[in-house]
Amino acid sequence: MKKLEGKVAYVTGSGRGIGRAVALKLADDGAKIVVNDLDQEPADEVVAEIKAGGGDAIAVAGSVTDDDFAERFINTGIETFGGVDIIVNNAGYTWDAMIHKMGDEQFDAMIDVHLKAPWKILKAASTFIRNAAAEEAAEEREVFRKVVNISSVAGTGGNVGQSNYSSAKSGVLGLTKSLAKEWGRLKVNVNCVAFGFIDTRLTTATDEKMTTVVDGNEVALGIPKKVHQGFSGMIPLGRPGTVEEAAGGVYLFCTPESNYVSGQTLIVGGGITL
């Protein structure tokens, strides 16, 4: 029997990178996955990969910052799979600048995607969770649900050029601790994973200028090779983490072994402590 058999997991930003690795890991352990990406194609590819491995999944494409996204995301999963058991708020990106060069739009964009969007998704799920918890309590059944919010060592310790991103990721810590207390009576474990230096398309070592467009904003991809080497040298384990290793940290908070763990932040950073 797989540990997550019969569970329904919602993973934002799961068409690529860490989110994809999380979706595949949870699916491999039996969960049905509601996959999300900005674009339909990568979301569909992950769904196909999960189904090819014997699992089940559905894609909900779109930006987590869209006004109607949270309700559409949660309702699609409920209508398709009938439940809400795990929510992983993973979607996000960085848009860096020193504070004297940063405009309001740049600051607000990070707050919207990293903090407000997770809040809206959890709010959208709250009615189902409250009703299900009430029914389970009446039947004297103890059923645990899991929320894993994604932060960063920039949120726990700050980072140069990331006053917007660091502020948003620090806010995720407060959201996590508050909902852990608010939803404890509903048997929901609310925890946070703060990533260190993980190899993704946002952090790949390159001296070429690469960009992508997110919500109409052009943002940089990759970091200079010398900077990449410098960051790697600061990590006690001596290298960046892989997306699979990042997913492993999230997985810990989704399993029954974490049923008495809530309101906590786990740094997955190869030994970095901030």
What is the pLDDT, as a whole number, of residue 217? Answer: 72
pTM for this structure? 0.94
Tell me whether residue 101 is in a domain: yes
Tell me whether residue 1 is in a domain: no
Per-residue HEC secondary structure of 5-40 comes to CCCEEEECCCCCHHHHHHHHHHHHCCCEEEECCCCH
Split into its structural domains, the chain has a count of: 1
Question: Which domain range does residue 236 map to?
Answer: 8-268
pLDDT tens digits, residue range 167-224? 999 999 999 999 999 999 999 999 999 999 898 877 766 667 667 777 777 777 766 7
pLDDT tens digits, residue range 29-75? 999 999 999 999 999 999 999 999 999 999 999 999 999 999 999 99
pLDDT at position 225 over 80: no
Can you tell me the distance from the alpha carbon of 10 to that of 174, in angstroms, rounded to the nearest whole number?
21
Token pair of 64 as six digits? 């987590």
CA distances from 189 to 25, 183, 184, 247, 257 (A): 19, 8, 7, 18, 11
93 is an active site residue: no
pLDDT at position 232 over 90: no
pLDDT class for 227, splitting at 50, 70, 90? confident
Tell me whether residue 2 is in a domain: no
Token pair of 3 as six digits? 């540990």
CA 175, chain centre distance (Å): 13
Which residue of the set 10, 165, 251, 260 is catalytic? 165
What is the pLDDT, as a whole number, of residue 71? Answer: 98
What is the pLDDT, as a whole number, of residue 233? Answer: 81
Q: What is the CATH number of the domain that holds 183?
A: 3.40.50.720
The residues that bridge with 220 in the sheet, in sequence order, are 211
Tell me whether residue 210 is in a domain: yes
**Helices and strands, number each (H, E), in the chain:** 9, 9
Tell me whether residue 241 is in a domain: yes
**Residue 160: which residues within 8 A CB-CB, separation 6 or more?**
98
Tell me whether residue 3 is in a domain: no
Tell me whether residue 273 is in a domain: no
